[in-house]
């Protein structure tokens, strides 16, 4: 593997069996590229939270991941219900997770806030009834 690197993952909603596999693969790719451990950790957290949100709340998504000498970028674009109130969804502790999801340990309402905290650049756009798109950039160095 070498930089520049790019790969697209497909994430299926409700697929709790494979949930987390894209972010696990992203983490190992970054390690094999020799990326700084602090950067790898920030990317892994953001990727995992974005991936789990697709599994829990959306139907299907593509997660495009790329690495240049300067930055790691992820674009997660789903087809799903969308988010009516993004400001509310961004609040710490706010979650619409079901009882079943909470029993599996999800639904702390910290995913989107953690993505924003770990990203150097972050944008979220959503259209109700269509889907949601996250753009995440994390600088290397
Ligand atoms: N991709 C998505 N599609 C639809 N709704 C979403 C998506 N991601 C997040 N949400 C909504 O935003 C809320 C907050 O998300 P998050 O901060 O990750 O917390 P949690 O996943 O613990 O609920 C979710 O409960 C859900 O209502
Ligand atoms: Mg979440």
- 3-class DSSP string for 98-128: CHHHHHCCCCCCCHHHHHHHHCCEEEEEEEC
Q: What ligand has the least distance to the C-alpha of 104?
A: 1
> 60, 79 in Cβ contact below 8 A?
yes
* pLDDT, tens only, 63-96: 999 999 999 999 999 999 999 999 999 999 999 9
Residues with CB under 5 A from ligand 2 (ion): 53, 111
pLDDT of residue 17: 95
Coil, strand, or helix at residue 75? strand
List residues near ligand 1 (CB under 6 A): 49, 53-54, 56-58, 78, 80-81, 83, 89, 94-97, 106-113, 132
Nearest CA, atom 27, ligand 1: 96
**Rounded Cα distance, 79 and 132, in Å:** 7
**Rounded Cα distance, 110 and 93, in Å:** 6
Record the pTM. Answer: 0.98
**CA nearest to 111, candidates 21, 45, 65:** 45
Over residues 106-114, mean pLDDT: 98
Residues found in the chain: 141
Over residues 110-131, mean pLDDT: 98
* pLDDT cut 90: percent of the chain above it: 99
Nearest CA, atom 12, ligand 1: 89
pLDDT of residue 11: 98
pLDDT band at 1 (very low <50, low <70, confident <90, very high): confident
* pLDDT, tens only, 19-44: 999 999 999 999 999 999 999 999 99
């Amino acid at each position: 593997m070498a930089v520049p690197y790019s790969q697209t993952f497909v994430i299926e909603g409700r697929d709790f069996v494979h949930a987390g596999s894209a972010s696990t693969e992203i983490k190992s790719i970054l390690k094999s590229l020799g990326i700084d451990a602090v950067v790898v950790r920030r990317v892994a957290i953001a990727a995992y939270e974005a991936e789990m949100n697709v599994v829990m709340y959306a139907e299907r998504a593509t997660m495009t991941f790329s690495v240049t000498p300067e930055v790691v970028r992820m674009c997660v674009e789903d087809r799903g219900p969308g988010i009516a109130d993004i400001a509310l969804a961004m609040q710490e502790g706010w979650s619409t997770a079901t009882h079943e999801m909470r029993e599996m340990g999800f639904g702390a309402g910290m995913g989107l806030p953690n993505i924003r905290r770990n990203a150097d650049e972050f944008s979220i756009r959503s259209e109700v009834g269509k889907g949601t798109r996250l753009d995440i950039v994390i600088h290397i160095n």
